[in-house]
Structure 1
Amino acid sequence: MQRYDAGAAATGSPENFTGSVRVESRFQAQEPARVGGATVSFEPGARTAWHTHPLGQTLIVTSGCGWVQSEGGPIEEVRPGDVVNIPPNVRHWHGASKGASMTHVAVAESLNGSAVTWMEQVTDDQYARGPEAADRRVGP
């Protein structure tokens, strides 16, 4: 058994995030395993850039209110207890809603040493659209 200590918190890189984001690397399995995870906390309005994961990503929302969008789909609201599965190579972003912070645990596997491909920032206009319906949620 391997026990992981909480990783040192780091500020989310402005190349990959908009707004105030804190990333705590929680675990990174050693070869031949390839899974890693982090706790990511977003202040209101903060979000990731568009990105993909070669083997997909799972988000487990632990606090607050956030938004998730896959390219071409609606912005969907997520709340504590929601579990979001993003399939492999689906372009997406996620972050806090306009009025609340949000924290999630993000889990992804590496393929050929890479777990994520970062792309351009989500524009303020894209983000400003918010959820299309107040009751639209990902999860149960």
Structure 2
Amino acid sequence: MELLTQPPTVKLPAEWFTGDAYADVIYRGEAPSRMRANMVRFTPGSRTAWHSHALGQTLHIVEGIALVQSRGGDIIEAHPGDVIDTPPGEEHWHGAAPGQFMIHLALWETDDATWLEHVSDDQYNGPRVSTRTHP
């Protein structure tokens, strides 16, 4: 067993985010492990650019309301306790709803991510479907 030293919080790059978002590395596996876990804090209205992960990504919403969308799909309004899984190669974005902070735990393997264009304000403000209306 080993108690891991945690690196300081980092502000995430403007090339990949609209608005301000910050990450705390929870775990970064060393080979042969590929596991990655970050706690990510989004300021109100901030969001990732469109992107995909070679091996997929799972998000566990911790606080606030998250907005998550796959390319061509509905914007999902996710709440604390909700878990969103994106399969390998699926283009998507995620961020905070307007007016409040959002925190999620991001889980993925390897750093093979493809970053694309920023999410436009029109895309971000599109119609939403709440997880509270689905089983």
The TM-score normalised by the length of structure 2 is 0.92
Instruction: Report the Cα distance in structure 2 between the residues aligned to 1:92 and 1:49, rounded to whole angstroms.
Output: 8
User: Where does 1:67-78 land on structure 2 (aligned, <5 Å)?
Assistant: 67-78=67-78
**Aligned with 1:121 (options 118, 121, 131):** 118
Instruction: Report the Cα distance in structure 1 between the residues aligned to 2:20 and 2:127, rounded to whole angstroms.
Output: 18
Instruction: Report the Cα distance in structure 2 between the residues aligned to 1:130 and 1:39, rounded to whole angstroms.
Output: 27
User: Structure 2 counterpart of 1:89, which letter?
Assistant: G
Change (3 A) 1:5 1:61: farther
Alignment of 1:89 onto 2:83: no
The corresponding residue for 2:131 is 137
Task: List runs of 5+ in structure 2 lacking aligned partners.
Answer: none
More strand per residue: 2
Change (3 A) 1:32 1:57: same
Cα distance, 1:96 vs. partner?
Answer: 0.2
* 3-state SS, counterpart of residue 123 of structure 2: helix
The corresponding residue for 2:100 is 100
Q: Is the 8 A contact 1:65 1:97 kept in 2?
A: yes
The sequence identity of aligned pairs, in percent, is 41
* 3-state SS, counterpart of residue 94 of structure 2: strand
Instruction: Report the Cα distance in structure 1 between the residues aligned to 2:79 and 2:127, rounded to whole angstroms.
Output: 15
* 3-state SS, counterpart of residue 32 of structure 1: coil
Cα distance, 1:37 vs. partner?
Answer: 1.1
Cα distance, 1:115 vs. partner?
Answer: 3.1
Task: List runs of 5+ in structure 1 lacking aligned partners.
Answer: none
Q: Would you say how many aligned residue pairs link Structure 1 and Structure 2?
A: 134
User: Structure 1 counterpart of 2:22, which letter?
Assistant: R
